[in-house]
Amino acid sequence: MTRFAPILVAALLLSAPAFGQSQPGAPPAGAPEIQAPVPEVGAGRGGQPGGQVPDSTIVGDTPTGTQPSPAAEAVTDPQPRQPSFVPPTPAPFSDRGQLSAEEMELQAALRGERIGGRITIPDRQAATLIQPEGRDWRDFHNRTLTWVGGVAVLGMLAILVLFFLVKGRMTVAAGPAGRTIQRFNLFERVAHWMTASSFIVLALSGLNLTFGRFLLLPIIGPEAFTAVSLWGKIAHNYLAFPFTLGIVLMFLVWVRDNIPDRLDLAWFKAGGGFIGKGHPDAKRFNAGQKLVFWITVLGGTVVAISGYVLIFPFAVTDMSGQQLAHTVHGLLSVLMIAVMLGHIYIGSLGMKGAFDAMGSGQVDLNWAKEHHSLWVEEELEKARTTVAGPAGARPLGAD
Amino acid sequence: MARMKFLCDSDRCIECNACVTACKNEHEVPWGINRRRVVTINDGRPGERSISMACMHCTDAPCAAVCPVSCFYTTADAIVLHDKDLCIGCGYCFYACPFGAPQYPRVGNFGGRGKMDKCTYCAGGPQQDNTIVEYTQYGANRIAEGKLPLCAEMCSTKALLAGDGEMIATIYRERVQQRGYGAGAWGWHTAYRETVAI
C-alpha cells in the first residue's frame, strides 16, 4: 500500500485544480468522506504558493466545512483555509466556471448560434450538438410561408376572378383582321413552353409540400398523399433542369426586346392596355410584359440557384445556408406563382387573341396593331424592304 | 404513462462512443447513419465535455410540425416516432430539428435522400411489435419487451440516462447534490422547455 502512496498524492494533485475551483471550500452536506481531502488540497495549492500538501490532521479535520470541530474553530481565525485566490462565482449549476447547458442553449438561441464541437464520425453536420435556429426555420415554414403563400396565391386568384367579372374578356376593338402576323417563332415557343410546363409541375409539387397536408391529405388519405408527394418530389428534382434551361434560352432570345425604355413609363402612366382605356404604343414587348420577363428571368434564376443548393444538401453550405436557401426558395416561388397566375390569365382567358402568340405563333394583325403598334410598323417596314429588295435592285427579268 | 426522456450527464460522459456502437449494432443501422452520436465541445480546452446526443423526443416536436406528409406520431410514452411508409425523404425535419437527429440514407439521384431514419427510443415503429418487418424498417423494439433504450442501459459510466423524465431527473439531481456540480441536462431547455432544477 505504501508503495502506491506517492501515486495517490500525485493523482490528488492533478485533480486538485478542477475540484478546487468549483469547490471554494464548501461542499454540500452529505458529501462522502473520500471527497474531503480534495478541496483542501486545492485550497492549499491556491493559497500557499510554496506549500506542500497540508498535514493529514487538517485534511481530515475540515472535511466538508459543515462540521468543523469546535477546537479548530477556536484556535484559527474565522476563515483559515480560504485560499487567497477566489475563483469568480461560477454560473449557477455548473462546474469549472463553465456555462451550464441551459445557459448555453439560451444564449445560442438568442444569438442564432449553434452549439457544436468535434465528432469522430465523418459527417460535418453531426458535429452540431444543438441548433436552436431550427425553431426559426420551423416558424418560417409553418407560419410565414403558409401565410405569404396563401395570401399571394389566393389573393391573386381573387383579383383575377374579380377582374374577369368586372371587365370580362378583352376583345380586339377593330375586330379580327383575318390576316395574321408571326409573333413568336418555333424556337421561342419551345423555350417558352418548356419553361412553362416545368414551372407548372414545379409549382404544384412545391405548393403541395406546403399546403398539401392541409388540403389534399384529408381528402385522399395518407398513403395516396405520400405517393403523390413522393412523385412530386422526384418530378420537382428533375424538372429543375429543363426549367433552368428554359430560363436561359428565354433570356437569350428576348433580352434585347426587353430593355426598359421611355415608352414603358408612358405605358404605365396610361395604366397599360388592361386597366386604362385605349392602348398605349408599345414595341415588341410592352412594359407589363417586360416586367413579367424580368420577374421570370431574375426570380427564376434566384429560385433555381437556391433550388440547386437544396437539391444537393450541404454540398456548398451548412445548416444555416440550407435554411436560408429554403426561405428564399419558398418565398420567391410563391410570389412567382402569383405573378404567373396573372400572366396565365392574360394570356388565355383574359384577352382574346393573346394565346395565339404562344399557340400557333401567328397573331391577328388587328390585335397586334392594338397592343404592339410600333412593333407591327417595324415588322411591316421590314417586310416591305424584303419584298422591294435593296435600293436599286430590280426584279429578275424586268429588263 | 411515463414521459420518456434522455438525459446525458456530461460530467460523466467519457466519450467512449459505446452508446453509438450499441445503437448501430442493436438496430442494424445502415452505413452512414448514426442515430446517436457523441459531440465533444471545447475540445482540448478548459471546460471540455462530451455529450451523447440522439433524438430527444421533444415536446411539441419540430420535426412533426414541419413534416409535409405528417408522418410523425407520438406514443403514449411521449416517444416521437415516424412512419417510413409515409416519409418522402424531403429533409425538412433535419432543418427543423435542434439536435440533428434525422438521418437519411443516400439513395438515387443528386443528394437524393431516402426515407428518414432516427432514434426510435428503441420503440420500433408503427408496424406490429417485434416483427421482422418492424425490425428491418426501424430496428429492435426493446420498449415492447419492457426494456429501456440500449444506449443508456449499457453506458459504462451511467452518463446517459433514459426513462421517465421525473425519475431520471431525480437521479441526476441526487448526483449533482452529491458531487456539488453539474452542467445541467443538455437539450432539455430546447426539447422540453424545462430544465432539471437543483
Check CB contact under 8 Å for A126 and B38: no
pLDDT for the residue A377 = 86
Chain B contact for A223 (CB, 8 A cutoff): yes
Chain A contact for B113 (CB, 8 A cutoff): yes
pLDDT for the residue B32 = 83
pLDDT digits (tens, 9 = 90+) for A65-74: 344 444 444 4
pLDDT for the residue A167 = 84
Q: Three cell numbers at A345? A: 390569365
Is the whole model's pTM more than 0.90, yes or no?
Answer: no
A312 → closest Cβ in B41, B90, B110? B110
pLDDT for the residue A113 = 81
Q: What are phi and psi of A170, to 5 degrees?
A: -80, 135
Chain A contact for B51 (CB, 8 A cutoff): yes
* CB-count burial class (<10 Å; 0-12, 13-18, 19+) for A293: middle
Residue in B12, B40, B94, B95 to test binding to A, most A beta-carbons within 10 Å: B95
User: Nearest CA to CA, how far is A170 from chain B (Å)?
Assistant: 40
Residue in A19, A93, A228 to test binding to B, most B beta-carbons within 10 Å: A93
Q: What are phi and psi of B124, to 5 degrees?
A: 65, -140
Place of cell 410592352: A286
The C-alpha atoms of residue B169 and residue B162 are separated, in whole angstroms, by 10
Residue A226 confidence (pLDDT) above 70: yes
CA torsion A270-A275-A277-A283 (nearest 10°) is 60
Chain B contact for A102 (CB, 8 A cutoff): yes
pLDDT digits (tens, 9 = 90+) for A142-157: 999 999 999 999 999 9
The C-alpha atoms of residue B81 and residue A255 are separated, in whole angstroms, by 52
Chain B contact for A319 (CB, 8 A cutoff): yes
Residue A193 confidence (pLDDT) above 70: yes
Check CB contact under 8 Å for B180 and A213: no
Q: Which of A212-221, A310-319, B115-124 has the least mean pLDDT?
A: A310-319
Nearest CA in chain A to B21: A121
Residue A173 confidence (pLDDT) above 70: yes
Prediction ipTM score: 0.90
> What share of chain B has pLDDT > 90, as a percent?
76
The C-alpha atoms of residue B23 and residue B121 are separated, in whole angstroms, by 10
Question: pLDDT tier at B144 (50, 70, 90 boundaries)?
Answer: very high
pLDDT for the residue B113 = 79
Residue A333 confidence (pLDDT) above 90: yes
pLDDT digits (tens, 9 = 90+) for A275-331: 666 677 788 888 888 999 999 999 999 999 999 999 988 889 888 899 999 999 999
Q: Three cell numbers at A253? A: 432570345
pLDDT digits (tens, 9 = 90+) for B151-172: 999 999 999 999 999 999 999 9
Residue numbers in B near A34 (CB within 8 A): none
Q: Three cell numbers at A215? A: 388540403
User: Nearest CA to CA, how far is B102 from chain A (Å)?
Assistant: 10
Facing residues of B163 across strands? B5
Chain B contact for A131 (CB, 8 A cutoff): yes
Query: Of residues B181 and A74, which shows the higher confidence score?
Result: B181
pLDDT digits (tens, 9 = 90+) for B28-55: 998 889 999 999 998 888 888 999 999 9
Chain A contact for B30 (CB, 8 A cutoff): no
Facing residues of B40 across strands? A118, B50
Chain A contact for B114 (CB, 8 A cutoff): no
pLDDT for the residue A210 = 92
Residue numbers in B near A238 (CB within 8 A): 109
Which residues 6+ apart lie within 8 Å of A335 measured at CB? A148, A152, A299
The C-alpha atoms of residue B123 and residue B109 are separated, in whole angstroms, by 31
Give one DSSP letter per residue of B59-96, joined into a string: TT-HHHHH-TT--EEE-TT--EEE-TTT-----HHHHH
